[in-house]
Amino acid sequence: MANMRRYGVFAAVAASSALLLAACSSGGDDDKSPAASGGATGSDKAPVTITWWHNATADPALGFWQTVADEFEALNPHVTVKVEGIQNEDLQRTRIPVALQSGEAPDLFQQWGGGEMVAQVADGYLKDLTGLVDDDVARLGGSVAPWQVDGKTYGLPYQFGPEGIWYRPSLFEQAGIDGTPETLSELSDAVQKLKDAGIEPIAVGAASGWPAAHWWYNFALQSCPSDVMQAANSTLDFTDECFVTAGEKLAEFIATEPFNTGFAATSAQEGATSSAGLVANGNAAMELMGQWNVSVMTGLVDDPDALLADLSWFPFPSIDGAKGDPTAMLGGGDGFSCYVDAPDECVDLLKYITSDDVLSRFAAEVGGIPSAPAAQGAVTDPNLKVIAEYMGKSNYLQLWLDTSYGPTVGGQMNDAIIQLFAGSAAPADIPAAMIAAAESL
Amino acid sequence: MTVNREALGGETGLAGGAQAPSAGPEAPSAKKNRVRKSTPWGEIALFTGPALVVFSTFVILPVVLAGYVSFYHWDGGGDLGKFIGFENYSNVLKDSVFISSMKNNAFIVVMSLLIQGPLALGVALLMNRKLRFRAAFRTMIFVPYVVAEVIAGAMWRLILDQRGVLNTALLQLGVFDKPADAIGWLSDQKLVMWTMMFVLTWKYVGLAIILFLAGLQGVPDEVLEAAAIDGASWWQVQRRITIPLLGPTIRVWMFLSIIGSIQLFDMARLLTNNGAPFDSAYTMAMFVIDRAVRMRQYGYATAAAIVLFVISLTAALLFMRFVMRRDNEGEGGVA
């Protein structure tokens, strides 16, 4: 009985029974019909309700989005905005896919861009914003690219930032490291010095998968010419030799044992023994992570100010003699898309959210690097300022590879990279797994 | 039970005595006349109807839908996509990750039986006597079973982590010099499955003990007394009388344990951080969830779920057929 029941729960999700979902989500109809008629008549603005799902579950971001919604309601008295903050992975992996599949989706929802969005566009779930947001696309600049498919815009980002290596200057000093590593060999030297000083050099949450995979992404970005990386985003062609070279270089690096003891079972963000926690608590010196790491780390220590005074950042080192652009950076961001049936007010709200004024306040109050260059002056965190500066100087900005290639190719790629870390896969197995996954699409 | 047997006998128009000797000639004819009246279909429909509707909607229908989806190359969005027949199944059965997770589940099935069975039997036999604080002991043994799986998983993770409570204590006791030398209870690929077996035993041995203790209540005192009078030692009594009479209970526990081990998911996912290190503690249920939710290979994952379902069902049916046959004979033989 127990097996049947549990199986049934899974199957209900997997098969996405139209019957059940229709029964569960009948509430949405009432919200949308006035919107549709309001749009049709165009007369005296019939009341409209917009539902908005975002991934902020804690202040300051949670309160900030509510404030933005309230402001938008004040500017547009006929609009009611219903805001719901949902935990990031639940939102991305379960809530949004199920809502889209059921046909009762929120009007405005979190959008990570890349391959996942391409699939949503192919299924006809997203509103084509092309022509409606041209000014905003020009104003936001290059960071919009991951939210575009074949020249059409399906979402706008509110923040975008590259990743790099977060480190504890006091531990570098203790190990006698001058400056920050700019090349891979300098990084290896630093690792050796830290080990000699009895300090765990680099924390990586390999149990969570992607944090280890990001090491390979950066090796690939440094090993492959930018045009190869650029083309692979749309062609999913991973036959270039540089994808193998990246794995070979990474395997050499892994062989020097630069990572924390037990990294294979270390998670990325949960608790003091996670990779972020190890660095935040001074048990490891470095971690490769995105711009959000400041807020993760400060949440894992008793005294955030002491941590912030001893936390710094440098971009991923270049690899000597490799074919990649040394200034190339890997990054990602967050944006929002409108559901295909959403009222026009959804687009207005999206434009308001990504306006220079709102994003300036976002930078100051929430932290993070806003997508609008005009708002980046409002960044206060010293590390984020440095990151924004490097991003400005970068010749090529690549979206997270798993996001860009989509969940199927990205998932197989991450798993293959983990196997390289385990020593049970060869460098050539990674592009082979990616090619096989791309062919299965 | 007796009433049922007579009812069946009555319905087929055979004399109760001829069909079931146990019922004997004393079966009152008045009773027979009463049950010979028409079957109360209305009542049956009224009482079983709601349960059947719920069962069909939430169990049968999803299973059938899952079977349907497993023949498609579905990514979880839009229409079901391409019909690919059994391709998902042939790929799943070739997938090295799925095969290794199957091996892990098999390890858990066998080790659960081998470790928990004898342990629980020993404790139950020891506790099946007049003891001071017996109720308190029983409660304590059962507490881990009552703790929610996710809480148990998260708690043991905090204890067994590389820098967890246990390693920190060992470090302070001077067993190792620095954290880097600590034992990787959860990060050593060779150790992690044994760590998991320890936690599983901690969690589920209480259920086995309580079941066995309940079974022991059913062993008649007269038999034990007779054996004692005949000069049997305590060991002989346990081996020749108590344990054989406990057979049905042990087999029921084995059945529950096997099915639970095949389905293991929530606690293992938290304890090992989704099968880490390097998938060496990955289970079939984790595979299904990961392929579907993380990699958006819903058709493929559903095929894996069906394989998992078939394995569970086959194990259950084989166990019922060959091991629990005698236990089920009571009803099966007559019907």
Domain CATH for B150: 1.10.3720.10
Q: Which residue of A has its CA nearest to B274?
A: A207
Angle between helices B298-318 and B96-111 (to 10 degrees): 30
pLDDT band for position B330 (cuts 50, 70, 90): low
Of A7, A16, A209, the CB nearest to B309: A7
- In this structure, the answer to whether residues B109 and B199 fall within a common structural domain is yes
If asked whether residues B52 and B194 sit together in one domain, one would say no
The structural domains of chain A, ordered by start, are 11-161+333-381 (3.40.190.10), 164-330 (3.40.190.10)
Calculate mean pLDDT across residues A10-24: 37
User: Using DSSP, how many helices (H) and how many strands (E) does chain A show?
Assistant: 22, 12
Q: Residue B335 domain-assigned? A: no
For residues B54 and B146, membership in a common domain is answered with: no
State how far the Cα of A431 lies from the Cα of B37, in Å rounded to an integer: 74
Instruction: pLDDT band for B34, please (50, 70, 90 cuts).
Output: low
Asked if the structure places residue B105 within a domain, the reply is yes
Worst-scoring range by mean pLDDT, A59-73, A185-199, B1-15, B306-320? B1-15
Residues of A in contact with B291 (CB under 8 A): 411
Question: Do B125 and B27 share a structural domain?
Answer: no
Do B296 and A407 lie within an 8 Å CB cutoff?
Answer: yes
- Considering the domain boundaries, does residue B55 fall inside one? yes
Pair B98, B53 in one domain = no
Query: Is residue B146 in a domain?
Result: yes
Residue A23 near chain B (CB below 8 Å) = no
Q: Does A197 touch chain B (CB under 8 A)?
A: no
Q: Which DSSP string do the residues of B259-301 spell out, in sequence order?
A: HHHHH--HHHHHHTTTT-STTTT--HHHHHHIIIIIT--HHHH
Q: Which are the contacts of B56, defined by CB distance < 8 A and separation ≥ 6?
A: none
Tell me whether A125 touches chain B (CB under 8 Å): yes
- Dump pLDDT digits (tens) for B183-208: 999 999 999 999 999 999 999 999 99
Interval B113-157: pLDDT, tens: 999 999 999 999 888 877 788 888 888 888 999 999 999 999 999
- A3/B312 Cβ within 8 A: yes
Q: B259 to chain A: nearest residue by CA?
A: A3
From chain B, pick out residues whose CB is under 8 angstroms from the CB of A264: 187, 189, 276-278
Q: Which residues of B touch A101 (CB under 8 A)?
A: 76-78
B35 and B181 inside one domain: no
Look up residue B237 and give its amino acid: V
Q: Residues 293-332, chain A: which have Cβ within 8 Å of B?
A: none
B132 and B56 housed in the same domain: no
In a shared domain, residues B196 and B285: yes
Q: Residues A214-268: pLDDT tens digits?
A: 999 999 999 999 999 989 998 999 999 999 999 999 999 999 999 999 999 998 8
The structural domain count of chain B equals 2
DSSP secondary-structure letter at B221? Answer: H
Contacts of B308 in chain A (CB under 8 A): 7
Residue B251's φ and ψ, nearest 5 degrees, are -70, -35
Q: Do A14 and B305 touch (CB under 8 A)?
A: yes
Better pLDDT: A365 or B13? A365
- Residue positions counted in chain B: 335
Q: What is the pLDDT of residues A150-179, one digit of tens each?
A: 889 999 999 998 999 999 999 999 999 999
- Structural domain ending residue among the three candidates B69, B97, B114: B69
Shared domain check, B107 and B230: yes
How far is Cα A247 from Cα B217, in angstroms, rounded to an integer?
A: 63
Q: Is residue B80 part of a domain?
A: no
Dihedral angle over CA of B141, B145, B147, B152, nearest 10: 100
Q: What are phi and psi of A164, to 5 degrees?
A: -165, -165
User: Is residue B280 in a domain?
Assistant: yes
Amino acid at B173: L
The pair phi, psi for residue A318, each rounded to 5°, is -85, 165
Same domain, B214 and B243: yes
Q: Look at residues B23, B39, B69 and tell me which one is the last residue of a structural domain.
A: B69
Interacting residues of A119 by C-beta distance below 8 A, sequence separation 6+: A406, B75, B77, B296
Q: Which domain holds residue B60?
A: 2-69
Residue B181 included in any domain: yes
Residues of A in Cβ contact (< 8 Å) with B274 = 207-209
Please answer yes or no on whether B298 and A14 come within 8 Å at the CB atom: yes
Domain end point (choices B25, B41, B69): B69
DSSP state of A318: B
Out of A21-25, A98-102, A123-127, pick the least confident.
A21-25
Query: Which of B129, B159, B66 lies closest to A13, judged by CA?
Result: B66
Lowest mean pLDDT among A26-30, A206-210, A319-323, B213-217: A26-30
Q: Quick one: B222 and B115 in the same domain?
A: yes
| DSSP bridge pairs for A160 | A333
- Measure in Å the smallest separation between the Cα of A8 and chain B Cα atoms: 5
B41 plus B147 within the same structural domain:
no
Number of H helices, E strands in chain B: 19, 0
Q: Look at B58 and A8 and tell me if their CB atoms are within 8 Å.
A: yes
What is the pTM (predicted TM-score) of this model? Answer: 0.82
- Domain-located, residue B313: yes
Q: How far apart are CA A227 and CA A410, in angstroms?
A: 20
For residue A44, the model assigns a pLDDT of 66
